[in-house]
Structure 1
């Protein structure tokens, strides 16, 4: 039914060597788990296309910071390049976030939103959501939940009111410091 994705991404064979850290936050700004994958070595870089832009989203030295907010229908991954600059924010629309064997996870509902540092944003995988609904993998309630949540987040992003985007650098620093200490 759902694609369950874990914060430590154990099945990601492209990454040959990595460091992993996670913590739980309960602050006014954010409640939930955050994870950080520090990519040491990959088999090959990964590029994606957004319109005519070719963007590298993983390579040696990259960091992937993932937020798993409690009680929300999204999870967000911020990708940082080897210089520490944000490459993109990737928001997965999901049914729920949780924890299993002390590792945070999310149940993916197909739709994704990508926000680039330029401010451009893209809604991805509408075809996957439609296909899952028509095949009966999800019911109309989940189909509608995914569409409504994506629309709500897109409106917040356009209005510059999706605050999690601005917390990424702070949370990356927190996990890096905790991991070194």
Structure 2
């Protein structure tokens, strides 16, 4: 069974205090849901390692902006540190995107792409995709869809034709500064 991930990340126990908001945007550059999780307080920071680079992806004051594009097979999460600087872009390859009880979600197809501000690109979790195929969690068509979409996304990133990387800061400011947006909640 595919793992369904929601934009509000309501079950995330590491996050003790949060603010969440979302919008649906229909523009020339992007159509879909955008969520912003402002992380006020965490139990402890979280770090990831990419080669020689160690990146903090969660800590007090961090923000996660997630794009759920309509009719696409990826979701983009942009992670900002407490200074508002991008620490990484994280692309989840997914089967589909939807909305349930006004909460955007995506069904994860295991493959992920990480882009660092330095321009480095990392493909992740190929082993999880292979295991999912071997264990019957997904069929050959979904397996091929995952690889096709990952290859396409990498090509777009390398050729600087993936506009959401450039729009992330603009969209973050739009959600962060507009207190009139719907879907906001704190915990």
Do the aligned partners of 1:90 and 1:112 also contact (CA within 8 Å) in 2? Answer: yes
Q: Quick check: 1:109 aligned with 2:109?
A: yes
Hey, what's the Cα distance between the residues in 2 that align with 1:173 and 1:6?
Answer: 21
Relative contact order (alpha carbons < 8 A, sep ≥ 6): 1 or 2 greater?
A: 2
The Cα shift of 1:179 comes to 2.7
Hey, what's the Cα distance between the residues in 1 that align with 2:87 and 2:149?
Answer: 23
Q: Deviation per CA, 1:82-139: give whole Å up to 9, x if none.
A: 0000000000000011100001000000000000000000000000000000000000
Moved over 3 A (4+): none
SS at match of 1:136: coil
Hey, what's the Cα distance between the residues in 2 that align with 1:158 and 1:176?
Answer: 29
* Cα RMSD for the two superposed structures: 0.8
Do the aligned partners of 1:21 and 1:179 also contact (CA within 8 Å) in 2? Answer: no
Hey, what's the Cα distance between the residues in 2 that align with 1:27 and 1:180?
Answer: 19
Task: Give aligned pairs, total.
Answer: 181
Hey, what's the Cα distance between the residues in 1 that align with 2:57 and 2:94?
Answer: 21
Do the aligned partners of 1:33 and 1:67 also contact (CA within 8 Å) in 2? Answer: yes
SS at match of 2:8: coil
Hey, what's the Cα distance between the residues in 1 that align with 2:7 and 2:111?
Answer: 18
Hey, what's the Cα distance between the residues in 1 that align with 2:138 and 2:51?
Answer: 29
Gap regions ≥5 residues in structure 1: none
Give the structure 1 partner of residue 36 of structure 2. Answer: 36
Q: Quick check: 1:94 aligned with 2:94?
A: yes
Gap regions ≥5 residues in structure 2: 182-187
